[in-house]
Amino acid sequence: MRHAWTSASLLSRIAVYVLFICAIPAASAQNAAPVSGAEVYQKRCATCHDQTSSQALSRDMLQKMSAARILRTLDFGLMMGVAYPMKRDEREAVASFLGTKGGDAPPPASTFCSAGIRPMSGPATESWSGWSPSSLNTRYQPAEQAGLTMGQVRHLKLKWALGFPGDVTAFAAPTVVNGTLFVGSAGGAVQALDAKTGCLHWMFQANGPVRAALLPVRNGSLYSLVFGDLTGWVYSLDAKTGKQLWKRRVEEHEAARLTGSPVAQNGVVFVPAASWEESRSVDPQYPCCTFRGSLTALRVSDGSVVWKSYMVDPPKKTGSNSAGALQWGPSGAPVWSAPTIDAKRGLLYVTTGDNYSSPATTTSDAVMALDMKTGRIVWSQQVTANDAYTSACRSKGANCPPENGPDYDFGSSALLVHSPSGREILVAGQKSGVVYALDPDKKGKILWQTRVGKGGLNGGVQWGMASDEQKVYAAVSDVSGVMNTAGPVGGATFDPAQGGGLTALHLEDGEKAWFAPSHPCDPPRPGCSPGQSAALSLIPGVVFSGSLDGHMRAFATEDGQVVWDFDTAKEYATVNGVQAKGGSLDGAGPVIVGGMIFVNSGYPRNGGMPGNVLLAFAPED
């Protein structure tokens, strides 16, 4: 069982270690059982860490670190670029081989809240539960819950900052319930904080990195906190104490990862599943590919399975690649984002990614409707056909399928919106740079489609749009330059002037209401891009958009004018005493609640700027 740290058990904070990395040697053979940590080290690590002339930490220094810290550095730390092709058991084996036993020490006593500050004791209006304030996934926070006006947004100032020790990315979506903020981290630490001050109520250590929003759900007299990690585990914690209630692995596939936030209805929580397999395929000996995107319904009370639905049929052997490794298909169609609940129709809507291998299916790059009670697929509307792609395609590797892209996944949730005319529509933004409106009453028939960006491998709409039932707002990435997918994290040679942009579309017909161009990096620096990949967040009159240049900006919904701009890419004094700095903004968007805005800063994957900080803003007193 994993442990929750509270004020009852305290030790000093551990030191933060940094690993340097160098190029990865040839990948190890698949299906070796049991995995030898010594063999993994020799094949993947020794070239760098056994060389006295190398900049990498020596083997002797690595052996003084904890195995837990080494593993987290491989998962989503400085070593993640070279560790993407490594299977989970390889990472665990080499970490155990090198590192010392035992985990990190608990936080110091000074970080914990005083006895008078109790978790979840604030007003119910101070809540943003899960990925979006509502299960419609519009990421719109009403005025009463937001507690902010446009005039106050103009005067937002930093109130406190929290550092994530040892991390180089801060990608988890915060959630706030009754004045308590819950947030995961790349290091797998889940924390409950007082939203006003940042003091710590409790901390829990998950098996792997946690990037999805934590979902608070009523469970009898308790609030359960349900979330997934990037190794495929789902957890339920007592929201007030951090005590683990249950834990379940919803996908047996080794490469499963849970990036999308769960949603809940009537005592059942729905968990989407995606995969690392697209990256595993860089190894030419990897038998590509067998993962299938899925949605699993679990009972909140005990984690038992109600139903499970896959997005593609079971894979079959299709031959061998040029390196002699077996090939499988169909595969892929992962669900990267939170499902959308349609209580009136009894449906769940999910958006899917591309296929990983041939044959391509009709359920990839699609918006799909599933029966909420049974998981039966009711309808599927594909917008890009024949999209099969893996990371091996970037170097024309053996595991690149014949289709070779275009890699136009849906990475963001569909929005269920009431249009001004009163009809309900589904709106979905794709990496192609196109926004689609679909009719939920006509099996997803496309009502309109509008291009808002160029699109591409790291382009188009990435992690989420927002809507206020008048317009839908879509920011695009459209990063231009050389992405780093292996080797040192951060520091890509992006074009400092190309990418980004925010568009407002009228809901009725998809016509553009306005366009706000991106802001070139000033000054240009490694890892900086004007691309706007992060999910948007919205309050009456203001839409918030984060950029890879580290800026969080607020735009007027009337005309797209910037009303507030804060550069997060700097160092901070933190409430927990951790050395922290900001970097690129990507993935989760800001959370606005109770007169405050919360922003995670730091995202080096693909070459953006590293960072490890959660920032809390409020208007000047």
**Would you say 265 and 280 are in contact if contact means Cβ atoms under 8 Å apart?**
no
pLDDT at 20 over 60: no
The fraction of the chain above a pLDDT of 70, given in percent, is 88
Res. 4 pLDDT band, cuts 50 70 90: low
pLDDT at position 97:
79
Bond prior to 359 in cis (omega within 30° of 0) = yes
Show the 3-state SS of 342-410. Answer: ECCCCEEEEECCCECCCCCCCCCCEEEEEECCCCCEEEEEECCCCCECCHHHHHCCCCCCCCCECCCCC
pLDDT at 3 over 50: no
Exposed (0-12), middle (13-18) or buried (19+): which is 520, by Cβ within 10 Å?
A: middle
Handedness of CA 579, 584, 589, 592 (dihedral sign): positive
Res. 35 pLDDT band, cuts 50 70 90: confident
Q: What does the angle CA 303 – CA 305 – CA 308 come to, to the nearest 5 degrees?
A: 135
Average pLDDT over residues 89-114: 80
Res. 553 pLDDT band, cuts 50 70 90: very high
pLDDT at 246 over 70: yes
Contacts of 133 (CB under 8 A, 6+ apart): 127, 139, 140, 141, 142, 145
**302 φ/ψ sector (left φ>0, alpha ψ -120 to 50, else beta):** alpha
Q: What does the angle CA 403 – CA 405 – CA 411 come to, to the nearest 5 degrees?
A: 140
Q: For 574-611, what is each residue's pLDDT tens digit?
A: 999 999 999 999 999 999 999 999 999 999 888 899 99
Rounded to whole angstroms, how far apart are CA atoms 334 and 44?
Answer: 28
pLDDT at position 292:
97
Tokens 């949730």: give the residue: 413
**Would you say 357 and 342 are in contact if contact means Cβ atoms under 8 Å apart?**
no
Res. 52 pLDDT band, cuts 50 70 90: low
Task: List the beta bridge partners of residue 215.
Answer: 226
Top-level class of domain 109-619: mainly beta
pLDDT at 621 over 80: no
**Would you say 119 and 240 are in contact if contact means Cβ atoms under 8 Å apart?**
yes
Lowest mean pLDDT among 122-131, 176-185, 463-472: 122-131
pLDDT at position 36:
82
pLDDT at position 26:
31
Buried-state track 445-464, b at ≥16 Cβ within 10 A, e below 16: eebbebebbbbbbbbbbbbb
pLDDT at position 201:
97
pLDDT at 484 over 70: no
Lowest mean pLDDT among 102-106, 309-313, 562-566, 584-588: 102-106
**Residue that wins the pLDDT comparison between 10 and 599:** 599
pLDDT at position 54:
52
Reported as type and span, the H/E element at residue 263 is strand 263-265
pLDDT at position 79:
66
pLDDT at position 122:
87
Question: Which tokens hold the place of 323?
Answer: 């390196």
Nearest CA-CA partner of 402 in 394, 415, 393, 413: 393
Lowest mean pLDDT among 479-493, 519-533, 536-550: 479-493
Res. 347 pLDDT band, cuts 50 70 90: very high
pLDDT at 46 over 80: no
Q: What's the mean pLDDT when you consider all of the chain?
A: 89
For 76, list phi and psi in degrees, rounded to 5: -150, 35
Bond prior to 590 in cis (omega within 30° of 0) = no
**Would you say 505 and 524 are in contact if contact means Cβ atoms under 8 Å apart?**
no
pLDDT at 15 over 80: no
Lowest mean pLDDT among 61-75, 273-287, 515-529, 572-586: 61-75
Domain residue spans in the chain?
18-64+67-98, 109-619
Question: Which tokens hold the place of 447?
Answer: 């009502």
Handedness of CA 203, 209, 212, 217 (dihedral sign): negative
Rounded to whole angstroms, how far apart are CA atoms 134 and 138?
Answer: 7
pLDDT at position 556:
98
Q: For 418-470, what is each residue's pLDDT tens digit?
A: 999 999 999 999 999 999 999 999 999 999 999 999 999 889 999 999 999 99
Q: For 313-329, what is each residue's pLDDT tens digit?
A: 999 999 999 999 999 99
Res. 211 pLDDT band, cuts 50 70 90: very high
Helices H / strands E in the chain, number of each = 9, 40
Average pLDDT over residues 118-130: 89
